[in-house]
Structure 1
Amino acid sequence: MNQTTATAEAPPVQTGALARYFSFAERGTNARTEVLAGATTFLTMAYIVLVNPAILGSAGMPVASVAAATCFAAAFASILMGLVANTPLALAPGMGLNAYFSYTVVQQMGVPWPVALGCVFISGVAFLVLTLTGVRQLIVTSIPQYLFAAVAGGIGLFIGFIGFKDAGIIVANPATFVALGNLSAPGAALALFGLVVIGALSVWNVRGAMLVGIVATTLVGWLSGMVTFKPEPYSLSALTGTAFKLDLGGVFGLSGKHGLGLLEILFVFLFVDLFDNIGTLVAVTKRAGLMDAAGRIPGLNRILVTDAVATIVGSMAGTSTVTSYVESAAGVQVGGRTGLTAVVTGLLFLAMMFVAPYAQLIPLAATAPALIIVGGLMLLPLTEVQWEDPLSAIPAFLTVAMIPLTFSIANGLAFGITAHAALKLVRGTITKKDWFLLILALLFVARFVWMGGA
């Protein structure tokens, strides 16, 4: 029955070089769907063009240069992912790691930003070594199947929470941590309008509901005067302000108060990006139906190598760690199933290099509804967890809860994997095959002890 339905709703099969390269027929998609998905992913990620320069600019980096580097890094990484790994996974400088780069490494620890870029470069090389030696693949295969489902659900809540926050529907509250925002405020009202539009188009099975909703909400924002536009002076030559400015000699020359700090910096860049990527990769490929019944991800090696290369190139362009984006799920929800989705996203970021300041024409209130709906739809895999069995229910719940509550995919995975290993030890069902799982759990415990759970 499911198979019949899927076949009936599948887009018409296309032939030709493009269709063969991206395996349209095997994945039940076509060029129009992939282009639409790529544009949707881009719109949900476009905020990084504004946010990343603002964060790294506070570390003393030239804002216009970081804007150009952000666009270039996202374009290069996404296009490479699409062409090499044929996966609808888009990449860009990661949120969280850019804040750590700016506020902790540069401002608190006093490390000059060129040296910090050198640390990002070294972490990228380390990613590549771990991938080529099979360690990263071993980590993916050591995660139990039910935790894959929990990660997907947790990321769904995470995406939804980000959407509610961006819309102003959920706001900070000193007494209750979070609370309902002012729904009559312009941003929240605009987001609610977008939520209704995308929701209505989705239940009517309108293809491209996400993209249409984002565009419609943006137009309403323009017409109502809610979108402010104050572009900064900018040109492509701005890229020279950060390109190849990384200071590798400075990294190895760190001493005194920076000696142990260097190890901490590299550890955080490695650890957070490693597990954020694994979590995002699992969630997006599972949602796209690319993961097989045994939990294997086709082309895993190519995906991980691409990710490592992206971080190396990003540091050379002048930006913090490049990572996979959970917003890729928005494109997958529209129907993206192949690398063409990522290529389209990358090409749009490449075009954005010429007009980077204009990204602010799309307000957060326009993309927030798409994130909210995608987050809700990503909860489906939670039905695969055996909630009646504490061995799977407890780690799954910790994973699902800690991802949005700590604003970190890595923390959610850490709690889930550690709880899974601990409960297997208590139950007495640990085997020799679980040796790497135990190593991961011990590393997570050491990480929490050493860094205070940061």
Structure 2
Amino acid sequence: MLQRTFKLTEHGTSVRTELLAGFTTFLTMAYIVLVNPAILSTTGMPLAGVAAATCLAAGVGCLLMGFLANYPIALAPGMGLNAYFAFTVVGAMGIPWQTALGLVFVSGVLFLVLTVAGVRQLIVSAIPRALFAAIAAGIGLFIAFIGLRSAGLVVNNDATLVGLGDMHAPTTQLALLGLVILSVLTVLKVRGAIFIGIVATALLGWALGLATWTPQPYSLEEMTGTALQLDIPAALGVGGHGFGLALLEILFIFLFVDLFDNVGTLVAVSKKAGLMRPDGTIPRLNRILFADAGATIVGSLAGTSTVVSYIESASGVSAGGRTGLTAVVVGLLFLATLFVAPWAQAVPAAATAPALILVGAMMMAPLAEITWDDPVIAIPAFLTLITIPLTFSIANGLAFGVIAYALLKLASRQATKTDWLLLALAALFLARFVYMAFEA
């Protein structure tokens, strides 16, 4: 049955190899079960509920990817979009987390519609790959900045905006020690380095009395605290909640960042697995995008932010994974983790902060793909990279990059008729800034 379903022989693999690859991928991305709840709980969402939702969304997403698309790619709530959800949408804009979940649901439905219509593929072709790379790296800086703040290494400073925190603070020292542990494990290529490092740092925190937690009995109510709490009418602006164009902007970012994240991951993992066609196209691309959209819808219903493809899937490919059976194994492991998800609240912020910093560092790799000696590419890429963390907004970084690229293409007379969609997106972003100026 497995041979027929996943075409193992055709892909030159076996059940044993796929099982090993699935376990490898799961270990490298299991940290999301701890980190995602730590980020989203800052909005007031029940931490245990978010942990359970994270496991459920990842599990369903991986099963969809395995059975529907037959790819060794694992999915889970995305790093970067969870930070945007918590710190920008809910924190800065003041939008209730229930409404934000409603927007995640609507974006998932739109993913499905746009995939059927072929619009997602059009958008991918309109945006230069350099901006894809800059967005990924900018989100990495954003995540790392959040980790530095959570660790107490970076604090507010009236004179210089930010400054160095109190290095004598016990929790800051614990976070620094955790960063050392995670970094050493990563350098030694230990499988599941981030997850192991988080647990080791948490254990040290408990042993040294720097973290406290009173275990509570599990209850269905605790694990379903975020399930079906999304507010779809508010997300659609029904009832006059007063958020206006802000909702459209959030929806736009959910769509774009998820799209870029998935395309970048698909290209990288497909190349590594030898699954790309000779012309550079990805087989069964629509099925992959359907799996992504379905997982995002399930995630929003369960109570978590947008689900994306994970670059950690490359670790499973390195272990020999070539088919959807790898993804199915990852999905089943995430669903099994669901039963211990409430324990995520036992992990202190000082233990998850180093993971954010390290993940941010590893997201710098795409910068090597940018042609920095070409100003038409370099300037928009730099603006995207720097404005995402410094304005605490993925939307601003994306807007600056697209507008700058369109203007420089026009100024250098490199724009052609095929760039119409790029110019239209730049005009939309420019209108956004004009609107924000008048609102201010």
Per the TM superposition, whether the score is higher than 0.5 is yes
1:127 is aligned to 111
Q: Is the 8 A contact 2:37 2:48 kept in 1?
A: no
Q: Is the 8 A contact 1:333 1:374 kept in 2?
A: no
Matched residue type, 1:360: Q
Matched residue type, 2:110: A
2:199 aligned residue (215, 220, 224): 215
Deviation at 1:169, TM superposition (A): 2.0
2:83 is aligned to 95
Q: Is the 8 A contact 1:170 1:178 kept in 2?
A: yes
Distance 1:225 1:401, change over 3 A: same
Q: TM-score normalized by structure 2?
A: 0.78
1:139 is aligned to 123
Deviation at 1:220, TM superposition (A): 1.9
Distance 1:278 1:251, change over 3 A: closer
2:376 is aligned to 391
2:308 is aligned to 324
Once the two structures are superposed, the pairs formed by residues 53-202 of structure 1 within 5 Å of their partners are: 53=41, 55-57=43-45, 68-69=52-53, 71-81=55-65, 83-85=67-69, 86=71, 87-91=73-77, 94-98=82-86, 102=90, 113=98, 120-202=104-186
- Between the aligned partners of 2:52 and 2:271, the Cα distance in structure 1 is 33
Q: Is the 8 A contact 2:105 2:301 kept in 1?
A: yes
Q: Secondary structure of the residue that 1:148 maps to in structure 2?
A: helix
Q: Which string of whole-angstrom CA distances, capped at 9 and with x for unpartnered residues, describes residues 66-124 of structure 1?
A: 6654543344334434554532342268333356665688x66xx895x7765554443
Deviation at 1:247, TM superposition (A): 6.3
1:49 aligned residue (37, 47, 50): 37
Q: TM-score normalized by structure 1?
A: 0.76
Q: Which string of whole-angstrom CA distances, capped at 9 and with x for unpartnered residues, describes residues 193-234 of structure 1?
A: 233233334444444443443333233222212222135664
2:297 is aligned to 312
% identical aligned pairs: 47
Q: Is the 8 A contact 1:150 1:400 kept in 2?
A: yes
Q: For this pair of structures, how many residues does the alignment match? A: 424
- Between the aligned partners of 1:297 and 1:174, the Cα distance in structure 2 is 50
Q: Which string of whole-angstrom CA distances, capped at 9 and with x for unpartnered residues, describes residues 20-77 of structure 1?
A: 3996859xx86435423323322145233354355254xxxx7766665454334433
Is 2:249 the counterpart of 1:268?
Answer: yes
1:431 aligned residue (416, 426, 435): 416
Matched residue type, 2:24: L
Matched residue type, 1:275: F
Q: Which string of whole-angstrom CA distances, capped at 9 and with x for unpartnered residues, describes residues 128-157 of structure 1?
A: 212211112211121112223323332333
Is 2:349 the counterpart of 1:364?
Answer: yes
Matched residue type, 2:347: I
- Between the aligned partners of 1:205 and 1:307, the Cα distance in structure 2 is 29
Deviation at 1:431, TM superposition (A): 0.4
Q: Is the 8 A contact 1:245 1:316 kept in 2?
A: yes
Deviation at 1:324, TM superposition (A): 2.6
Q: Secondary structure of the residue that 2:83 maps to in structure 1?
A: coil
Is 2:385 the counterpart of 1:400?
Answer: yes
* TM-align CA RMSD: 4.1
- Between the aligned partners of 2:10 and 2:162, the Cα distance in structure 1 is 44
Is 2:360 the counterpart of 1:375?
Answer: yes
2:262 aligned residue (276, 281, 287): 281
Q: Is the 8 A contact 2:34 2:344 kept in 1?
A: yes
User: Which 10-residue stretch deviates more, 166-175 or 228-237?
Assistant: 228-237
Q: Is the 8 A contact 2:175 2:351 kept in 1?
A: yes
Matched residue type, 1:158: F
Matched residue type, 1:273: F
User: What stretches of structure 2 of length at least 5 have no aligned partner?
Assistant: none
Q: Is the 8 A contact 2:49 2:225 kept in 1?
A: yes
Is 2:208 the counterpart of 1:227?
Answer: no
Q: Is the 8 A contact 2:155 2:165 kept in 1?
A: yes
1:441 is aligned to 426
1:411 is aligned to 396
User: What stretches of structure 1 of length at least 5 have no aligned partner?
Assistant: 1-14
1:11 is aligned to none
